Amino acid sequence: MARISKFNIKEVFTWQLAKTLAMGQGLAGLICGTAISSQYLATHFHVNTPMLQSFLNYALLCATYSTMLLCRKILRSRWWKYLLLGLVDVEANYAVVKAYQYTNLTSVQLLDCFVLPVLILLSWWILKTRYRPVHYVAVCICLLGVGAMVGADLLAGRDQGSTSNILLGDGLVLLSATLYAVSNVCQEYTVKNLSRVEFLGMVGLFGTVISTIQMVILERGDVGAIQWSWQVGLLFSAYALCMFALYSCMPIVIRLSSATSVNLSLLTADLFSLFCGIFLFQYNFSGLYLVSLVVVLVGFVAFNAVPTPTLQTQQAPTFSPSSSCEEGCYDNPVVTPDITGDEGGSASITTKEEQDEEEDDEEKHGGWEEEDKRTDDQKAVGFSTKL
């Protein structure tokens, strides 16, 4: 009751929360753009080339951000870690698109939410994020909103997709959700401790190489069968630009909040696609879509209303900005296990002056202890002499 009496709504609905909500919904709008362009390519022009579409996105990232890293020594120290991260990101995108060939839309929408519990677990383990009960309640509220959306799809008769191999399709969705969670956690660590440009440049570089190899192996015939026209070229360009903007802006939103918070806001992307589909593809409307949107937004606000401290911030360590910190670093970086840093890298950041002060304190402290010990010995000798 005391907490309720001290509740101040201005402390919850802050400018930071409004900015995070607006930027998160902007990301959801970009995902909606990729979904609409992909659906137009598939339904109107019979083009199903997910790797070619991913290649265009990674090529733009490589051309924009990888060139900024040419003068750095990242390739000689952390290249293999970014190679694995690029592989994870490429396969996450490919698996979820491939799943539509084997399972239906309802299964994809439900199982894709598996990314949230995996994200929470990885954030707790790797990033040392400590969630409170309100955060788990907020995630459950968002999942209820997704359930309402799926129910609206069923009532509207929009249970689309294949059922040729539901078990394989569902497995691909779960695999994609897990890979997305790994990629997002690594992204959160990198943009908060290293650099946004480094993450985007290295993922763009290795993503381009991996997607090119995979496209040549798996989609060579499909790409050759494309009947090119200005409409097809426009749709490919729209998809690539939306994905490029999504990848470029997501690290900024993650740096302001967290990977879990961003994925909660992205739950509304399917709803935006549905609203656009009502006008573009003649989908049937259901009032549950609006209910689902409101419920997801309420859960998102509840999740971001209470901060999620890390284990290190609870212990209140002291840091000082590093002169070698790249663009995108926090002034007080989060100390986490080195998943992308150099071997043997130190997790704490201190200056030479702070080290000298610590040594002086230790010497003083040590001298006081020796003096106290000599005083105790003298007292003990005097006491024994009196006896």
Distance separating alpha carbons of residues 144 and 163, to the nearest angstrom: 25
Distance separating alpha carbons of residues 293 and 229, to the nearest angstrom: 37
Per-residue pLDDT, 343:
40
| Contact yes or no for 116/139 (Cβ under 8 A) | yes
Per-residue pLDDT, 345:
40
Exposed/middle/buried for residue 48 (C-beta within 10 Å: 0-12, 13-18, 19+): middle
Per-residue pLDDT, 330:
38
CA torsion sign, 159 to 165 to 171 to 177?
Answer: negative
Per-residue pLDDT, 71:
60
Kindly report, residue by residue over 343-372, the tens digit of the pLDDT. 434 334 444 444 555 555 544 444 544 545
Residue in the structure block whose two tokens are 């579409």: 53
**Lookup: tokens for 188:** 């959160």
Distance separating alpha carbons of residues 268 and 271, to the nearest angstrom: 5
| Three-class DSSP category at 49 | coil
Per-residue pLDDT, 282:
74
| Contact yes or no for 103/170 (Cβ under 8 A) | yes
Among the residues of the chain, which ranges form H helices? 2-5, 9-12, 15-44, 50-65, 74-77, 79-99, 105-111, 115-125, 133-155, 166-193, 196-218, 220-224, 230-256, 259-265, 269-280, 287-305, 311-315, 352-386
Helix (H) or strand (E) holding 287: helix 287-305
Per-residue pLDDT, 211:
94
pTM score: 0.75
**Lookup: tokens for 344:** 């043997």
Per-residue pLDDT, 368:
44
Which among 268, 347, 337, 193 has a CA at the least distance from the CA of 21?
Answer: 268
| Three-class DSSP category at 13 | coil
Give the domain ranges of the chain.
Answer: 10-315
Which regions of the chain are under pLDDT 70? 1-13, 71-76, 156-164, 311-387
| Contact yes or no for 267/113 (Cβ under 8 A) | yes
Per-residue pLDDT, 309:
74
Per-residue pLDDT, 316:
40
